[in-house]
Structures are given as structure tokens and as C-alpha cells.
Amino acid sequence: MDLLKPLLQICFFFTLHLLITTQGAKDSSAQNGLIHKHGPKPKLFVFGDSYADTGNIRKSLSSSWKQPYGLTFPGKPAGRFSDGRVLTDYIAKSMGIKSPTPYQWKSFAKKRLHYGMNFAYGGTGVFDTNVLLPNMTTQIDFLEKLMLDDPVYVKADLQSSLVLVTLSGNDYGHFYTTGGTAQGLQSFITQVVNQLALNLKRIETMGARRIAVTGLQPLGCLPRSTVVSAFQQCNKTENTAVNFHNLLLQQAVAKLNNESNSRKPVFTILDLYTSFTTALKNKGDHPGATTFETPLKPCCVGISSDNFCGSLDDKGVKLYTVCKNPESAFFWDTAHPTQAGWHAVYYSSLKATLEHSF
């Protein structure tokens, strides 16, 4: 019934001074961060998975289009894997633009194409995964086609814009569900990062000059892994594998920047591992930072191990519960942050990373 049920049930499988509020701020920061004073208006192009998807999956295929998703924003299900905004939305806001149109809705939102486009599909990876949706290579193909046909975008659009690339662990979920072993994981991680690096290089070749790629979040801290400890303790084994992925990614990005002809770094890593763990561990000792009451416990959960956030029985009766205040929870479901979680992650470090890197 729900193509993404395996994703939501199994976490490991799944898995700038930019906040511009006045015209004066725009003018004063026009030559810094992601805002340009001359040339085409900056756009945001997005590739990846559910950490960036804002509605690409068809409504009949995904729980992200079912209640209670979208409860906080926009107040109804809107294709985001959260109760509200996700990483894409916060980056777009910091750029002073609206969140880019999902690729699947491009024909219905032609007046918004100047903000860029979101090609991310929840549940996907650099390789094919458990969901029959476009992997990252195919997503890049979509943009390339839009640049060749008509064209909707030209190389100058990419040169003046930001590209966000997310990879949140779905390749590793597929690895285990298709017979992968712990002994073979290290080799597979190398394959994943190598393919990701090829994708990043290809995006640069198409014209992009500012590409932000996410490091892997602490998979062992996602609720599906912490449920065995009553949401009290992260899985160290999973996080050790994540650290190896992130180490290889750092090496790959450094190599890509060294090979680039640009005077400034083209590629930067958004450190989700550190930003997640910082938010999860905050006990109020960082002024202004959000303190989550039970940081590892999700807000929306199935009433049994057979159910998940958004589950209904044959009569339409809810088989899940939602916490009273999503703003008090870091995680929304078994794998995805709440809007409050993404807000904490973005403003704790990611926003500054983007400002300082480009």
C-alpha cells in the first residue's frame, strides 16, 4: 500500500549572511555568501532523497502525502518527510528565494521556475534502492535534459546558483536487504562515496560553481535504532560505519576542490553528523539553542511494530500517535527530523558553513 513503508520502518536502510529580512541587508551582503549583486538571480538546484524532497513522489506512493505529515507546515500533507519544513526550505529562505519547485510539478509551477528546481526523491540513493524511483544519476539527467530541451535553464543559471546534494543512507539500507554483510560494508561504502564523487564532478561540469553536499547523519541515533534502548542510546556500530563514510567523503571533496579550476572552493560539506549530535545533546548550555525534551524519541510513531507514522487500518482508523507538541521533538518519525529539528540543525552550524564556504 505504501511504497516507502520499508524506509520509514528501517532507519539504517534509509534510512549567506543569508537570512535576509530587509533590502538594506540584501544590499550590504550582495557581494558575500550566496547573494550576487550582478548577473542572474541565484537559484537553488537540489538532488538527493527525503532530507531534501519537497514533493516529488506521487501522492499515491508515499506517506509524505498523508496525514499527519505537514501538520506544522503548511498545515496539511505536502510531500515533505516531516511535520513541516526540511533542509531545502531553510537554505532557500536564507538565499532570499522561495523553495524551488519539485521536478514532478514543473508543468504546474512555471512562474516559479526562476527559483530553481528540486529533483530529490525520498528513499533514493546514488545507486538503485528499495524504492523504484530516480536515483541521483537519473535526477541529474533530468536537469541536463532541461538544459538541452527548450532550454528551461542554461549554464549561466548554474554558475550563479547553489546546488544542494543530500545522501542520507538509503544505499546502505538496500545493501543489507539484498544480502550485504558487515564484512562487505566497508567496500560498499567506498563504492557509494566514489559514485557520489562522480555525480558531484558531473554537476560541476554542467556549470555549477557552488555545490553543497551533506555528510551522513548519525544513523545510529535515528529512532529506529534507538528504540531498542527506549530511545536512550545511539547505536555505536552504525555510527562507526557512518564516520568511515564521512571520512571518505571529506577526502573525495578535497580532491575535487584541488582538481577544480575555480579560484574558490566549488564543493563544501554540510556536516550533518556534528549538527545532529550537537542538537541532540543540547541541555540548555548553548544560549538560544533549542532543547529537546526526549531528543531520540520520535513525535509520530506507530501503535505497534507493524505500524508507522501515517498508518491506517482498512476502515481508516489511525494506527499511529502524534506527540502534543512537535516543536519539543527533534525527530518526527523513525528517520526524519521535525521542522524544529531541521531549524536547530540548520542554524546551529549549516547556515554558517554555507556563508563561510562560498
Catalytic (active-site) positions: 50, 333, 336
Number of H helices, E strands in the chain: 12, 8
Nearest to 105 by CA among 153, 41, 58: 58
Helices (H), the chain: 5-9, 23-28, 87-95, 136-148, 155-159, 170-177, 182-205, 223-226, 236-259, 272-281, 339-345, 351-357
CA–CA gap between residue 125 and residue 171 (Å, rounded): 5
Nearest to 252 by CA among 149, 156, 146, 167: 167
- By CB neighbour count within 10 A (0-12 exposed, 13-18 middle, 19+ buried), where does 340 fall? buried
Nearest to 136 by CA among 220, 70, 53, 38: 53
The residue assigned the cell 564523487 is 197
Phi, psi of 163, rounded to the nearest 5 degrees: -115, 130
CA–CA gap between residue 155 and residue 165 (Å, rounded): 18
